[in-house]
Amino acid sequence: MGYAVVQVLNALSFSALLLLTGLGLSVVLSLMNFVNLAHGAFYLLGSYVAVLWLASGAPWWLAFPAAFLAAALAGALLERFPFRRFYARPHLMQVLLTYGISVILADLMRWGFGAQILTPELPAALRGVVFLFDMPFPLYRLFLIGAGAVLGLLLWLLLDRTLWGAALRAAVTDRGIVETLGIDTRRLFAAVLVLSAGLGGLSGALGAGMLAAYPGLDEEVLILALITVVVGGLGSFGGTVAGALVVGFALTFSKVWFPEFANVVAFSAMAGFLLLRPHGLVAPPLRQV
């Protein structure tokens, strides 16, 4: 019983990380129809910022807003140029642009932070284990589950229950009408990309305590985020939540039951699922800006 509970919590902690990463990617795709393959670089930047912050002796809880702000600033700079010029371009051009930028950012981070694996020094409040049915479970992973649930709820409230979110959804539906009301939709969509980049950095800061930080992690995380969004359904908040749970549980339990073929089993199962449901678990129509 204890072993099963621990594995479920492991899957939930991994799903929480996938949720935050996938939401940052999905919000730009669903609200702006923009494919941003540089999202993994924002994640890795947030991981490095968190590792350095936690090693500096500064208040540990500020590492997460610092990572959010660092990635958001990078997103704001890229949004000004060149992302803004590619919003109306075909997806293939967006993919080529953002993938090229991700490679450049990855090399810059390798030059700036080194090629070694960096593990954060967790604060005393997040170190250690708790015992569940006489089985140890890392305290940090419980923190990750709680942080993922809270941040996911806050993002849903921001987009679905605020005037800013209503204006944003209206701009997606009919940009011209919203602009006649005096709302600058260009700034509105810029804020979405900055928020997405910040979420990538924040998820990287939270994930550093579980996955560490190293060159190449950005591509690994990007692939998992893309799978999460596709399995859940493109352009759907609820679908991203469901996709994160499906991918997180599939990868976790495939490593438990089939350790030598974990990735093969997990990704084969997800490929089979997409053959049965090619539009994902929840798939509202993708809207054009």
Write out the chain's pLDDT in tens, 289 residues.
Answer: 678 889 999 999 999 999 999 998 988 887 788 999 999 999 999 999 999 999 998 999 999 999 999 999 999 999 998 998 998 899 999 999 999 999 999 999 999 999 999 999 999 999 989 988 888 899 999 999 999 999 999 999 998 889 888 888 788 778 788 888 888 888 988 999 999 999 999 999 999 999 999 999 999 999 999 888 888 887 677 888 988 998 899 888 888 888 777 778 777 877 777 787 777 777 554 444 4
Find tokens 């692939």 and name the residue.
Answer: 223
Find tokens 């051009």 and name the residue.
Answer: 93
Q: What is the pLDDT of residue 93?
A: 95
The partner residues of 138 in beta bridges, in order of sequence, read 129
- Strand ranges (DSSP E) for the chain? 129-132, 135-138
Q: What is the pLDDT of residue 286?
A: 45
Q: What is the pLDDT of residue 172?
A: 74
Q: What is the pLDDT of residue 167?
A: 86
d(CA 31, CA 54): 34
The candidate with the shortest Cα–Cα distance to 105, out of 155, 36, 50, 174, is: 36
User: Dihedrals φ, ψ of 37, to 5°?
Assistant: -85, 5
Q: How many residues does the chain have?
A: 289
d(CA 92, CA 74): 23
The candidate with the shortest Cα–Cα distance to 86, out of 42, 122, 33, 137, is: 33
For the entire predicted model, the pTM comes to: 0.92
Helix (H) or strand (E) holding 179: helix 175-180
Q: What is the pLDDT of residue 183?
A: 85
Q: What is the pLDDT of residue 288?
A: 43
